[in-house]
Structure formats: C-alpha cells, structure tokens
Structure 1
Amino acid sequence: MSLEFIPTRVFYEPGALDYPLGKTLVERFKYMGITMSPTTSHNRITGIPGNTAAAQYREAKRTLVIGVRRSKTFQSCKPSAHYQLPLVTSCPGMCEYCYLATTLGKKPYVRIYVNLDEILGIASNLIKERLPEMTQFEGAATSDPIPVERYTGALKQTIEFFGREPNGRFHPLGFIIAPIFRFEGWQEAYRQLMERSAEELVKRAPSGWSSEQLTLEFISHRFTSKAKATILEVFPNSSLPMVEDERKFKYGQFGYGKYIYQPEEMQEMKEFFQDQAKRYFPLAQVEYFI
C-alpha cells in the first residue's frame, strides 16, 4: 500500500496563482485529474462532503488547500523553539489523538502556502530583531510538512535558508515522544520504544554522526474540553483516557485550559524518561519534559 499523500480534492485561492509555486501546483493537480475548486480564503473551506462528523473528518484529511499566508505574525513555540515556522497547516494522518484537535476542529484539511519566500523573509527579520542571540524555529508545530514536500519543496528550501543564516536555526534533529500515556505496563512499553529507537538509530545513522547531536523531547498526554468533544464526535468509540476528575487543570500558553496528569504522576514519568534517556541516549540533550 502506498503511503504517498494524494489528495481527493484540491481548493486554491486565486491569489495563489500569482506565485510560481501556486501556478505549478494547480497545473499539476489538474493534470492528475484531481477535482479543483477556487476558494476565497484558505481559512474558510466549504464543500467537504460527509453526512457525519466522522465522515467529514476523513474527507477533510483527504483535502488539500493551496493558499497565501498573509499574516506577518509567527506564534511562539515554547518550550521547543522561539517561533513556529508556518510552512503547512494540518496533516493527512488519522491519529485518534492529536493535540491539534483544539485548534483545527472537526475539519482539519491540509493547507500549504505558496508564498514561501515571504514567510522566510519574516523569519529573517525576526532573526535580526534578536541579534546577537540565536533564534530557533519549529517547522512542524501545527503540521507535518513531509507528506506534501513532494509537491512544495518547502522543507528543502527552508533548510537551505537556515544554512545561510548564521544566527538562525531550524529545529534540531531529535525524537519527540508524545503523547505519553499512563497505562498498565507503561514503563516497559516505553522502555522498549526507547531501546528500539536507539538500535535503529545506530543502524541508520550516517558515518561520523554522534548521538550528542540528538535532542529528546517528552510530552505527557493532555487534553482540552474542546479537544475531547471533537475527538468523541469524530471517534465515537474512542478509548482515550479523558476523565477530567483524574487530572489536574492547568492554563496553557495560548490562554485555554488543559487537563494534565496529577503532579506526583508527572514526577514519576519525568524521572522514568530521564533515566531511560541516560540509558539509551547518554550523549543526547533532553530539552524538556512537560
């Protein structure tokens, strides 16, 4: 079975045709025989089929929107980076748990932006504002850009951009283990995950590469009330642990509250993953546990 992302339908903003990439993509998808429809805004898409929330969700994941990102503002990206770099929004994955359920809602269609030079220009200005400090950007905070890279080439262009920026950095190579759940036998399950990750990395790493260049990030499971409602509507048979009374309520950096594990549970998880990191990736940098 092919894992390539081939959209069922494509929407495009007419303004996207003012950019070479926009023209190329529209012509390419027309040639592929994919249904094409103009839209006034990449933020407001109508016409995604489906008689139920679950069906609309599936169809949204098969929908690609070609747009122009007009906002000049980049969101913060604590604690992993200084800023989000908005190359893409959403992804075609069908994960039952997704931390983007709060922001993307029940129709998380995939959006790509054709004005990449302008987006990288904003990044360049942000780098200059922070001189002489280093400024780091996260390119997958609200998306997975890899499935659409074959169409956009955005990651390639972005990596080359940061190669020319002495005070700008793209997110470093590493592992993000998330979401981390507590369940019967969770320690052994995650130990095996860490062990296998280390083994596979040794097999596949290029010659001369060292794990001291690796970063590790650990994110425990959390959910918002909105995300829970969306998940249960889209996946009515979900077995995700989302019982508010078992969690601690905490406000996040974007102003809405979330339910996280209790403090003593968080501490146990943090100590466990710190120990596993030392065991399997002794030279790696643990960026954070949240």
Structure 2
Amino acid sequence: MKKFIPSQIFVEKEALNYSLTYEILKKAENLNIPIIEDSFNKKTKNLSEQEFFAYSKRTIILGISKNKKLDSCKPSADFQFSLVSGCPGTCEYCYLQTKHAASPHIKIFVNINEILDNIQGYIDESKPNITTFELASTSDPISVEHLTGSVARTVEFFSKQEFGKLRLVTKFSNIDSLLNVNHNKKTKIRFSINTDYIIKTYEHNTDNLQERLDAAAKIFKADYDTGFIIAPIFIYDGWKKDYEDMLINLYNKLDGFSNSNLTFELIQYRFTLKSKDIILKRFPKTKLDLNEETRLKKWGPYGYYKYVYPKEISSEIKQYFYDKIKQYFPNSTIEYFT
C-alpha cells in the first residue's frame, strides 16, 4: 500500500516552538501538501457528519501533548502514551470511533523530547521494577512514521533503558526505518491481523494482510520481539476456515521462524451503544452486526457497557484459537483472550 499522504496540514501555534514541526513541514513542502492557516474547527464547522469524518481522516494537525499523567493499559502494558492521536485507517468497528468521536483527524505531537522526558520519570520512579509502555493504544503511529520519524527515535530511547520496555501494534507495513535501529531487544512490535474478508470489508485504508505479514517477517528478522494481535475476531459463515487460512499464511510467511516464541493476543468483536450510534452515522451501509439483543452485556473498564458474544460462542472462539495457534506455532505464547 502507498504511504499515507494527507490532503492538508494544520499547525497549532504552540507547535511552532519545536523542531519536529519544521522537519514535517519541509517534507510536506516537497510533497506539495497544502498548509492551511485557518483553524481546523472553523474549517470544518459546516460539514455534515460524513463529510467531517472523511475530511478529518485526510488531515494532519501538528500540535503538542500536554498529558503528563499516563493511563494504565492492562493487559497490554503498565502505561500508555501517544506520539500521535488518531489514524488514517477507517476501520468501521474501531473503538476510537467513540474515543475520538469529535476529533477523528490525525494529530502529531511534535514535543517528542518532553514526552520522552515524562516517560523517563515513570521509569525512574518504578526502579528496580521493569515498566512497560504501550505506544499504539489510541493511534497507529507507524502509519505516519515516514513523516515523523518519531517511532524510531522512541525505539532508540528505550534501547538505553535498563528498566523500561516499549510495545506497539500496527495495521501498516511502514516499518523499514526501524529495521536498522539499535533496539537492544527493548521494543516489541505486534501486527494486528485478520482474515482477508474482514480486512477488505471493514478495515478500509489500511494495509492488506500480505503487506502486514511481509512487514512482520522483516521485523522478526531484525531481531525484534514480535507478536500478533488477532482482533477483532468475528463470527461469520466460514470464519473457522478463513482464520485457519490466515494462520497458515502466517506460518508460511515466517518460513523457519514459526517455532520461535511468538506471542498472540486475542480480542473478540465488541461494541457499545455509543459506538453503534457513531458507526451508523459514518457508515450507514455497514455490514457489522450491531444487534445488542444477541450479545452478552458486560460492564467495561471505561465506564460504559460493551456488547460481546454470548459465553458459549466466546468459549468456542477461545478454544478454537488456542487449538489452532498451538498446532501451527507450538512454542508461542497466548498472552490473553478477551
């Protein structure tokens, strides 16, 4: 897939104090990307919901992160932080439809040194314990890494940390800049994968499965700790065959590395009433099953109910993936199923 090129870039006033802003603007100039001097909110205030969403997904805003207090990120890591907010992908089911309902644009935080200084404080405070950080909980920073270089700088930062480790996940294959970074085994890169049907039907403007698997093979050969998130897991006609084909594809792509200690994270499809409302406004022709009557209602960690598959279906999904992953990747670790 071609690298994401935004249709326009907005620059917040505070971002003008940071060198990364000018590095990105130089690349934008070379790519003939318009720099909009008006405010984003003013530019988009008269757009319909679908027009606003489409415009936002083609927009980058350069700004700064003021967030000093990091949120927990269980079960993935101890804490989460962001170099980017949002993502150019338009996955219909994405939980960021809710979290970023009013701000689906891509915001790049240019004060990377301040962000990393804050991370250092968390690491130092927890010594001698190892503190783990998730980088891609509210974004996919790999999708804009060719413009920012921020992930590579962050990997280098963690390579020097005795008591800190980094984790990130992506649906993009834009990882070549990370292959020659001295990561010192302190960064784990996971790839979000799904069946061809799910990717083509719901994961718009992301890389296809083959591109993700090719990137994963490169990352693995560069000696990064490597993992895979199978998410969200959908039940549909032929789902078992499709998911097994996906695992066989992965097995063949890694060619000789399949017996290594890869990790898998398994997440079943879920939605909330708030996300359902937003999804139906933005994707009125969606094929997503959003019928809460056929779901199990569970209280979520963020203060609202989520709807997941009933227990008998959930148990079937879990057992199926545990059996198949152990069949093809016997030395792998399944970190969790949720």
Q: Name 1:245's counterpart in structure 2.
A: 293
Match of 1:22 in 2: 21
1:89 to 82, 85, 90: 85
Alpha-carbon separation, structure 2, partners of 1:129 and 1:107: 33
The 2-side partners of 1:254 and 1:71 are apart by 18
SS of the aligned residue for 2:79 comes to strand
Name the CA distance, whole Å, in 2 between partners of 1:106 and 1:228.
15
The whole-number CA distance in structure 2 between the counterparts of 1:77 and 1:46 is 34
Give the letter aligned to residue 47 of structure 1: K
Q: Which residue of 2 is the match for residue 198 of structure 1?
A: 251
Cα distance in 1 between the residues matched to 2:115 and 2:259: 32
Partners of 2:259 and 2:329 within 8 A in 1: no
Pick which of 16-25 and 160-169 moved more: 16-25
Residue equivalent to 2:97 = 101
CA distance in 2: counterparts of 1:70 and 1:107, whole angstroms: 17
1:247-262 matches, within 5 Å, as: 247-262=295-310
Instruction: Report 1:59-70 matches (<5 A).
Output: 59-70=55-66
Do structure 1's residue 182 and structure 2's residue 182 form an aligned pair? no
Deviations 1:59-78 (A, max 9, x none): 11100010010110222111
TM-score (norm. length: structure 2):
0.78
Match of 1:221 among 254, 259, 269: 269
- Higher RCO (CA-CA < 8 Å; seq separation 6+): 1
Task: Specify whether residues 164 and 8 from structure 1 end up closer, same or farther in structure 2 by C-alpha distance, changes over 3 A only.
Answer: same
Q: Decide which moves more: 248-257 or 157-166.
A: 248-257
Report Cα offsets for 1:168-187 as digits up to 9, x if no partner. Answer: 11112210111101112211
User: Quick one: structure 1 residues 39 and 286, their matched pair in 2 at CA, closer, same or farther if it must change by over 3 Å?
Assistant: farther
**1 CA distance for matches of 2:268 and 2:245?**
17
For the structure 1 residues 134 and 39, does the alpha-carbon distance in structure 2 shift closer, same or farther, using more than 3 Å as the test? Answer: farther
Per the TM alignment, residue 52 of structure 1 is displaced from its structure 2 partner at its CA by 3.2
The CA deviation at 1:286 is 0.9
- Name the counterpart of 2:178: none
1:176-224 alpha-carbon deviations (Å, 9 max, x no partner): 1111011122111111111111211227x6xxx9621x21101000001
Name the SS of the counterpart of 1:211 in structure 2. coil
After TM superposition, list the pairs within 5 Å mapping 1:1-290 onto structure 2.
3-38=2-37, 45-48=41-44, 51-105=47-101, 107-171=103-167, 172=188, 173-202=226-255, 211-212=260-261, 214-290=262-338
Following superposition, the deviation at residue 283 of structure 1 comes to: 1.2
What displacement does 1:160 show? 0.7
In structure 1, give the amino acid aligned to 2:243.
Y
Q: CA deviation at 1:14?
A: 1.3
What is the CA distance between 1:138 and its match in structure 2? Answer: 1.2
Structure 1: distance between partners of 2:278 and 2:86: 15
Task: Give the partner amino acid of 2:138.
Answer: T
| CA contact 1:106–1:230 (8 Å) conserved in 2 | no
Cα shift at 1:55: 2.5
Residue 198 of structure 2 aligns with which residue? none
For residues 130 and 124 of structure 1, the distance between their equivalents in structure 2, rounded to whole angstroms, comes to 10
Q: Which amino acid aligns with 1:13?
A: E
Q: d(CA) in 2 for partners of 1:115 and 1:39?
A: 22
- Give the number of equivalent residue pairs: 281
In the aligned structure 1, how far is the partner of 2:162 from the partner of 2:41?
39
Paired amino acid for 1:174: G
Q: Percent identity?
A: 39
Unaligned runs of 5+ in 2: 168-187, 189-225
8 Å CA contact 2:84, 2:141 repeated in 1: yes
C-alpha distance in 1 between matches for 2:32 and 2:299: 46
Aligned-pair CA distance for 1:99: 1.9
Amino acid at match of 1:4: K
Q: Please tell me whether the aligned partners of residues 63 and 109 of structure 2 are also in contact (alpha carbons under 8 angstroms).
A: yes
Distance of 2:263 and 2:41 partners within structure 1: 37
Q: TM-score, normalised by structure 1?
A: 0.91
Do the aligned residues in 2 keep the contact of 1:61 with 1:91 (CA within 8 Å)?
A: yes
Q: CA deviation at 1:24?
A: 2.3
Q: Unpaired segments of 5 or more residues in structure 1?
A: none
1:10 is matched by which residue type in structure 2? I
